[in-house]
Amino acid sequence: MKKIYSPDRSEWNRILERPTQTVADIEQTVEAIFKEVRANGDATLRKYTEKFDGVVLENIVVSKEEIAAANTLVSEDLKSAIQLAKKNIEVFHRAQKTQRVSVETANGVQCWQEKRPIQKVGLYIPGGTAPLFSTILMLAVPATIAGCEELILCSPPNKEGKINPAILYTANLCGVTKIFKSGGIQAIASMTFGTESIPQVYKIFGPGNQFVTVAKQIATKHGISIDMPAGPSELLVLADDSAKAAFVASDLLSQAEHGVDSQVILVSTSKDMIDAVEKEVEKQLQKLPRKEIAEKAIANSKLIYVEDDRTANDLINTYGPEHYIVCVENEGFFVDNIKNAGSVFIGNYTPESAGDYASGTNHTLPTNGYAKQYSGVNLDSFMKSMTFQKISEAGIKEIGAAIEIMAEAEGLQAHKNAVTLRLNSLNNE
C-alpha cells in the first residue's frame, strides 16, 4: 500500500482518484451490445453468454425445478443465516415507511403526498468470482415491502449453465417473480428493452463491474431509471491509536477481496497506526483464498497520514466513500461532520461486513464519489412520491387572482383562462 504523509490540499483530488475507467472508455462497447439486444433479443443474450460466460444455453429462464433443486443444495446453516439477515433487513426497511403527508396550504386548498410502488423492477446480481446472494436480500426485501408487482432478476450462469444455488434460494425466499441466466451488459440491455423472455422493467437495481455500471448509465438514455451508478467497491477507514490494527486491516482486506478494481484507504492521525496496519495487512493477506485479487486491489490503495481531525474530516468529505468506518476516540466529531458517505460504521466492533450481510442497513451504495449526491438503496428507492390536490370553490377564489397574474406575466394566456373561466362561473351564480 502506498503511504502518503500530510498531503497538500491541492493534491487531494489526484491522490484520491479511483482506479476506474471513465464512461467514455467503454461506452462504445456498451452501445454496440445494447443495439444488438434491442434488435435480436434472446439470440444476442445467448451469443454473449457463450462468449463471456463460456456456456451455450438453450433456455435462459430458470425453471421451477432448478429452484427446487437449489433448495436442497443450500446448507441449513446458510439458510438460517440468510433468514436472520432477511429479518433484520425487513425490520430496518419497514421502519422507513411514511404516512401520507397532508396540508391545507390556503383556505380551501388541500394538498397531499402519497407514495406508490414502482410496478416493475429489475435486479442485477453479480455471480462471477463472488455470487452475491446477499444483494438479493438488500434489493428484493425492500421491493417487496414497497409493494412492487414484478421483481425480475438477472444473474450470469456458471460454465455448467447454472446459477449459484444460494442465489436461487434467496431469490425464491424474497419473492422474486422471474429469474434469468444473463449477466453483464447484455442483462442490463435486456431489462432496458425487453426480449422474448425477459420483460422490460421501469427501474434497474444492483451493483456490478465497470461495464455493468456504464450499461446502467446508458439505460437511462432509453427511459429506464436506475438506483445509482454503483461500480467497484470501496472502503475508507479512519483510525487513531484507539483502534485495533488487526481489525482495521481485516476491514481493508474485506473490501479488497471484492475485485481487482476495488479501492481501500486508511486515513489516520497516527503514524504508528499506519505502520501497524500495513504489517497486519501483509500478515492477513497471506491466508486469504482470494489473495491474488486482494493483492491487486491493495496495490491501488493508500495509507494517508494527516495531522489533525479537521483536516482528516475535510479529506474524507472530498473523497465521499461508499463505506466509511470511524474508529477513533473523538468519534462524535466525525459522525456529526461527515457530509459525503454511503454508509457509516462506528467503533471497533462494527465491521463493514455487518452492513454487507446482517445488521439490517442496505449494502447497495453509491461508489466513485457519487455519495456526494446519491443515497444508498432504501425503501423509497422502490417508490414514487405522488402529489394530489383538491381545491374547493372557496380555494379557487383564494388563489385564483395570483394564478391569473403569474400566468399573464409569463405570457401563458390559456393558463390564465383556465382560472378566469372558473372564477367568472362562480361570480355569475
Residues comprising the binding site for NAD(+)?
124, 186, 209
Please give the Cα distance from 7 to 11 (Å, whole number): 6
Q: 3-class DSSP state for residue 422?
A: helix
Closest CA to 174 of 206, 142, 199: 142
- CA pseudo-torsion sign 172, 173, 176, 179: negative
Please give the Cα distance from 425 to 334 (Å, whole number): 61
Catalytic residue among 234, 257, 323, 352: 323
Burial environment of residue 11 by CB neighbours within 10 A (0 to 12, 13 to 18, 19 or more): exposed
Cβ pair 134, 365 in contact under 8 A: no
Binding-site residue numbers are: 124, 186, 209, 233, 255, 258, 323, 356, 410, 415
Cβ pair 143, 159 in contact under 8 A: no
Whether 323 sits among the annotated catalytic residues: the reply is yes
Q: At what angle do helices 133-146 and 165-173 cross, to 10 degrees?
A: 10
Whether 363 sits among the annotated catalytic residues: the reply is no
Burial environment of residue 343 by CB neighbours within 10 A (0 to 12, 13 to 18, 19 or more): buried
Please give the Cα distance from 337 to 309 (Å, whole number): 11
Please give the Cα distance from 188 to 124 (Å, whole number): 8
Q: At what angle do helices 23-40 and 42-53 cross, to 10 degrees?
A: 130
Closest CA to 153 of 136, 137, 169: 136
Catalytic residue among 322, 363, 393, 408: 322
Please give the Cα distance from 69 to 73 (Å, whole number): 7
- CA pseudo-torsion sign 206, 207, 208, 211: positive
Q: Please state, in angstroms and as integers, the Cα–Cα distance from residue 78 to each residue in 167, 172, 218, following that order.
A: 12, 15, 36
Annotated catalytic residues are: 322-323
